[in-house]
Amino acid sequence: MRHALAGPSLMMCLGMALPAAAQNTPSREIMDQAQSVQAGEPEPAPDAALPPPSTKPDLVIAPIPLSNPAMGTGLAGAAVLYYNPNGSSRPWVSGFGGGYTSTDSWGLGASHNMTLADDRLRFQGWAGYGVANLRFYGIGANAGASNLSIKLRDKAFAAMVDTQYQIFSEGFLRHLSFGARLYYLDMNARVSLPLPNHPNLTPPAIERHSQIAMLGPSFTFDSRNNPVDPRKGVYTTGSLTYGADWLGSDFTHHKLQIAGNGYFPLGRETVLVVRKTLCEASDGAPYYDLCLYGQNGDLRGYETGRYRDRASWALQGEVRQHLFGKIGMVAFGGIGGIARSGKDIWKHTKMLPAGGFGLRYLASKEANVNLRADIAWGKDGAAFYFGIGEAF
């Protein structure tokens, strides 16, 4: 199974390598998809015996195709090492990745995941550097709908460390882990194609050349029956981070992010997945750390970052159906929006619906990992997506 999952699990390295936080590029979305298809075994029943852990190091190198409307089409490469120095039931995973896309964007990155204290203490971290050529439409619903944009060339170094501890070992709460997250981004953006008649569209220089360092609590609730191909259960993550000037941050805003997936079997080969996300950034957040609609597959059909503001939400459903052999298909749809603040979400949201369908090809029967190709329609037209693993 580790060989089959090498590509998807290390795609997060590439995603974190590019200045994804700047516009939450498709590379960042790939990273988040990868987190749901990392190497792992189905969770055993509470009274089931764990298989003996493997202690033999396993190095795998894999190519990774990708496509997304914001970054174009490209190819990445990844090398991942699975090893088990402490006899854990979960392997440690370290890796390195890099790639290039048709928009002349590229990045390099590394990641590490490990568990300690009988798997109750879990650590994940990543760091990377890259260059991304992206379109910036401005801030607010009207800016996204205007179809006016400038081109930004973002150069950034980013890093994140998240450590969580499983407090309870039995019962329902054994699925819950609490911890803390530290995030750092050094941004250097240049306007490569300005619009002279729209000077207000260009982000201020103080934001284009800045850094943020954010720290705060995080949590995970994971009751999925399988971390690779779940058919039932709940997977929810959240964080509330604060800009810390004592860590060198140029901004002291805070940001709340929560995402939850529910998996419901409708038949032996049919699964319904429901996803809800919420984001809120406080006053003073730089343009690249606002809530960006379309990120993390929320919702497909929108160019990531075209619609951005201090608050966003999305609710969507997806039906996954196996057809025959290695072929399957999905149909999805949802609605969401952006607003000027969290309190305005329920009163003054700019509604942004989307829907579409896609095909799946079972790339690894052993690991149940799919190649996916989706087409989706949003308010501004159609978008095509290709990658490894499900959108969420």
d(CA 146, CA 143): 5
d(CA 313, CA 311): 7
What sign for the dihedral angle of Cα 368, 378, 10, 272? negative
**Pseudo-torsion of CA 356, 303, 311, 263, nearest 10°?**
30
pTM for this one?
Answer: 0.85
Give 324-356 pLDDT, tens digit per residue.
Answer: 999 999 999 999 999 998 888 888 888 999 999
Tens of pLDDT, residue by residue, the chain (392 residues): 444 444 443 444 444 344 444 444 433 433 433 433 444 444 444 444 445 455 678 887 777 787 888 888 888 888 888 888 888 777 888 988 888 999 999 999 999 999 998 889 999 999 999 999 999 999 998 898 888 999 999 999 999 999 999 999 888 899 999 999 999 999 999 998 777 788 778 999 999 999 999 999 999 999 998 777 789 999 999 999 999 999 999 999 999 999 999 999 999 999 999 999 999 999 999 999 999 998 888 889 999 889 999 999 999 999 999 999 999 999 999 999 999 988 888 888 889 999 999 999 987 776 677 888 999 999 999 999 888 778 88
Residue 308: HSE in the Cβ half-sphere, 13 Å Cα cutoff: 25
Express as a percent the part of the chain with pLDDT over 90. Answer: 55
d(CA 308, CA 138): 8
The alpha-helical segments, DSSP class H, found in the chain are: 2-17, 20-23, 26-35, 141-145, 205-208
